[in-house]
């Protein structure tokens, strides 16, 4: 998929449908292999090797798997923060204490999410992160990320900017989701790198 649009929200909706359909075609074996390769690739990042606090997320459905990566970071002694969705689509944060510390939470008619079951630290907790691992559906050659459209991570990035925090921003994707161009809007912000099962690509 080389060129996937230059306009805004209507184009984003079309692109999201295409990308989600491609993910839905992945087999369970392909998902397992991709998650394992993604963890190995991400753990080799210098940014993660230096990090003391990492804001991440628990993958759901056919998203690139993150649990192996979260457990490996925790085994290194990294403080891993995970999001909890608030009613206004903003994100609160809690500390990851292993898979048993997660609770399955359904927000209205949305997909059920795995969220930290312990103490909530507040939306500003993300500003302490050295690295923020972002979900997405695609990223282009400029580092512009296409998310699912809920706006939660737009709020996170805006919060980091207001706080003067500058963590490394890294999106986790499948290989085919690194594309030439994604639709963007004025509030969109680029990431510094994308990790896929086969490579790491950095952006200026």
Residue 149 is assigned to a ligand binding site: yes
Q: Answer yes or no: is 157 a known binding residue.
A: no
For residue 17, what are the contacts with CB-CB under 8 A and spacing of at least 6?
none
Cα–Cα distance, 177 to 197 (Å, whole number): 11
Determine if residue 40 is labeled as part of a ligand binding site.
Answer: no
Token pair recorded at residue 108: 């209205």
Give the 3-state secondary structure of residue 119: coil
Q: Is 58 annotated as a binding residue?
A: yes
Q: Is 151 a known ligand-binding residue?
A: yes
> Is 13 annotated in some ligand binding site?
yes
* Residue 152 assigned ligand-binding role: yes
Cα dihedral value 53, 57, 63, 68, nearest 10: 60
Is 60 annotated in some ligand binding site? no
Binding residue per annotation — 15? yes
Tokens 């085919």, residue? 176
**Is 81 labelled as part of a ligand binding site?**
no
143 annotated as ligand-binding: no
Closest CA to 70 of 116, 121, 124: 116
Q: Is there a binding annotation on residue 63?
A: yes
Annotated binding site for substrate: 58, 63
Annotated binding site: 12-16, 58, 63, 145-153
Annotated binding site for ATP: 12-16, 145-153
């Amino acid at each position: 998929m080389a060129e996937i649009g230059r306009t805004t929200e209507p184009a984003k909706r079309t692109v999201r449908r295409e990308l989600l359909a491609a993910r839905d075609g992945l087999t369970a074996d392909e998902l397992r292999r991709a998650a394992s390769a993604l963890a190995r690739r991400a753990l080799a990042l210098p940014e993660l090797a230096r990090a003391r606090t990492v804001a991440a997320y628990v993958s759901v459905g056919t998203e690139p798997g993150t649990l192996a990566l979260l457990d490996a970071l925790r085994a290194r002694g990294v403080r891993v923060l995970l999001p909890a969705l608030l009613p206004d689509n903003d994100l609160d944060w809690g500390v990851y204490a292993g898979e048993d510390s997660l609770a399955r939470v359904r927000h209205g008619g949305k997909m059920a999410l795995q969220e930290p079951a312990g103490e909530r630290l507040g939306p500003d907790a993300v500003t302490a992160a050295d690295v923020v691992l972002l979900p997405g559906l695609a990223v282009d050659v400029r580092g512009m990320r296409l998310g699912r459209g809920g706006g939660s991570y737009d709020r996170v990035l805006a919060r980091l900017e207001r706080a003067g925090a500058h963590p490394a921003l890294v999106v986790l994707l499948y290989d085919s989701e690194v594309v030439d161009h994604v639709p963007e809007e004025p509030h969109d912000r680029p990431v510094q790198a994308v990790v896929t099962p086969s490579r790491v690509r950095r952006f200026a």
